[in-house]
């Protein structure tokens, strides 16, 4: 079906088909510019007004009495926020600390992990670029190397596990594995990967940048050596809030950079007083978790997963793209339910070149007011659509019209 400014997917099974009003559509709760379409929650998140107000409240306490705040109030308050984060992720109370972002979490592990000459660090070809750069730098410093395991786009869980296991040698010390990949929006079966690699004597750092909120995360079940993930993506906490989990046997090894005033207390406290910084993002994590708690995380995931699937389908139909082999659909052991709230549409005819992809993304923004992301991976340009509670079906219908007119 085509109208002037919308394309509607025929035969849809969406959240609206049941005739039930979409009670989880709440654009009024975010301060997003209503003149634009925001279809890229995955990259930088978006902070609800209520969570921004909580952050502002903390800032006002800090500015009302800087000395009292830093001397007496901050660290006890941070402990409350940290324990809320531990509970949300299934971490034991000594297992999780706050970091600025997943990049910092990965960096802290790479800076302390005892690599020596000849060792190998294993990653996949979906690895986040900044993480790969960090791994290479840590390896080069000591004469170790980085080994890349190719994993096909949309690989099954068995294939993903096998691809990593196939690259393990007797020199593999550390593997860095995404829980949800960035450019390819693929959920890897990290529980199986962690178990398989640990069995072979390899420590595993799970890069869970996208995982909190997008998937259920239970670190007591996952049992990684290390895990990092963002509160500022899917839980919609202010930017600069992320977690770093370290398994007990590594807690004496992983330290903070810069070295903090609480260094002597060891992990997790050694990360919590890195000089004079604005910690209001960390302090606002509980408010962000409570914000979604009113609907329940599984209801939010179901709704957003169904909406992203609709968005994927309506754009794919408009441009004749085949999404049958794309990752993120329901059913995989790591996804379940309605699937991920972040889906791919391959763009036929678009050069698989970051400059061309960025140019198309910018035209969507400049000419149509649509914020999106187009990544290049495996010789293809991949449009990645996200769904959050401020999105609805019509947003993707407008995206479909825009993409079709630009191809
Ligand atoms: C897989 C993965 N790792 C790491 C990062 C970096 O996250 P941050 O920018 O919050 O450090 C991202 C960001 O999208 C990501 O997708």
pLDDT of residue 336: 63
For the beta carbon of residue 109, count every other beta carbon within 10 angstroms.
26
The mean predicted confidence, pLDDT, of the chain is 94
Instruction: Please write the tens of the pLDDT for every residue from 270-281.
Output: 999 999 999 999
Q: Is 177 in the pocket of ligand 1 (CB under 6 A)?
A: no
Beta bridge partners of 341: none
Give the model's pLDDT for residue 333: 60
For residue 182, the ligand 1 atom closest to its alpha carbon is: 16
Average pLDDT of span 92-119: 98
pLDDT at 3 over 90: no
Q: pLDDT of 31-64, one tens digit each? A: 999 999 999 999 999 999 999 999 999 999 999 9
Distance CA 205, CA 202 (A): 10
Measured CA distances, 109 to 101, 225, 364 (Å): 13, 10, 38
Beta bridge partners of 122: 147, 175
Mean pLDDT of 63-70: 98
The pair phi, psi for residue 124, each rounded to 5°, is -105, 170
- The answer to whether residue 12 scores a pLDDT higher than 60 is no
- Over range 7-15, report the average pLDDT: 56
State pLDDT tens for residues 330-357.
555 666 677 899 999 999 988 899 999 9
Is 210 touching ligand 1 by the criterion CB < 6 Å? yes
Asked if 90 and 220 count as a contact pair (C-beta separation under 8 A), the reply is yes
Pocket test for ligand 1, best of 135, 230, 377 (most atoms within 8 A of CB): 230
**CA 135 – ligand 1 centroid, Å:** 14
Residue 328 has pLDDT above 90, yes or no: no
Per DSSP bridges, beta strands 203-208 and 172-178 are parallel
Ligand 1 contact, 101 CB (< 6 A):
yes
Task: Determine if ligand 1 sits within 6 Å of the CB of residue 100.
Answer: no
DSSP 265: G
Neighbours of 271 (CB within 10 A): 24
User: CA 391 to CA 236: how far, in whole Å?
Assistant: 14
pLDDT band, very low/low/confident/very high, at 18 (cuts 50, 70, 90):
very low
Ligand 1 near 209 CB (within 6 A): yes
Nearest CA to ligand 1 atom 10: 101
Task: Using DSSP bridges, classify how beta strands 172-178 and 96-99 pair: parallel, antiparallel or unpaired.
Answer: unpaired
Q: Which of 182-186, 201-205, 347-351, 394-398 is the least confident region?
A: 347-351
> Whole-model pTM?
0.95
């Amino acid at each position: 079906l085509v109208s002037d400014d919308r394309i509607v997917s025929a035969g849809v099974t969406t959240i609206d088909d049941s005739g039930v009003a979409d009670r989880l559509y709440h654009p009024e709760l975010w301060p997003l510019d209503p003149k634009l379409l925001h279809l890229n929650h995955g990259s930088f998140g978006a902070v609800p007004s209520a969570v921004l107000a909580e952050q502002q409240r903390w800032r006002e306490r800090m500015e009302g009495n800087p000395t009292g705040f830093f001397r007496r109030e901050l660290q006890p308050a941070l402990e409350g926020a940290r324990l809320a984060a531990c509970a949300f992720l299934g971490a034991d109370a000594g297992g999780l600390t706050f970091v600025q972002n997943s990049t910092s979490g990965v960096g802290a592990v790479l800076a302390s992990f005892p690599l020596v000459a000849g060792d190998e660090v294993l990653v996949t070809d979906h690895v986040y670029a900044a993480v790969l750069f960090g791994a290479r730098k840590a390896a080069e410093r000591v004469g170790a190397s980085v080994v890349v395991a190719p994993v096909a786009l949309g690989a099954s869980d068995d294939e993903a596990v096998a691809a990593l296991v196939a690259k393990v040698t007797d020199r593999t010390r550390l593997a860095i594995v995404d829980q949800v990949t960035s450019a390819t929006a693929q959920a890897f079966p990290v529980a199986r990967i962690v178990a398989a690699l640990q069995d072979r004597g390899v420590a595993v750092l799970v890069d869970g940048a996208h995982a909190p909120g997008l998937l259920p995360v239970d670190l007591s079940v996952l049992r990684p050596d290390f895990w990092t993930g963002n509160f500022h993506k899917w839980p919609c906490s202010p930017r600069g809030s992320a977690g770093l989990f370290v398994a007990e046997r590594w807690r004496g090894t992983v330290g903070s950079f810069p070295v903090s005033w609480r260094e002597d207390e060891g992990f997790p406290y050694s990360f919590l007083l890195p000089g004079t910084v604005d910690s209001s993002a960390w302090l606002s994590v509980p408010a962000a978790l409570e914000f979604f708690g009113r609907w329940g995380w599984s209801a939010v995931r179901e709704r957003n997963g169904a909406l992203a699937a609709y968005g994927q389908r309506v754009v794919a139909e408009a441009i004749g793209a085949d999404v049958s082999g794309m990752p993120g659909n329901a059913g995989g052991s790591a996804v379940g339910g309605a699937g991920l709230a972040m889906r791919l549409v391959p763009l036929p005819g678009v050069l698989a070149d970051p400059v061309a992809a960025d140019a198309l993304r910018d035209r969507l923004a400049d000419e149509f007011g649509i914020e999106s992301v187009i990544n290049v991976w495996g010789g293809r340009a991949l449009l990645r659509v996200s769904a959050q509670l401020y999105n609805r079906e019509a947003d993707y219908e407008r995206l479909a019209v825009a993409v079709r007119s630009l191809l």
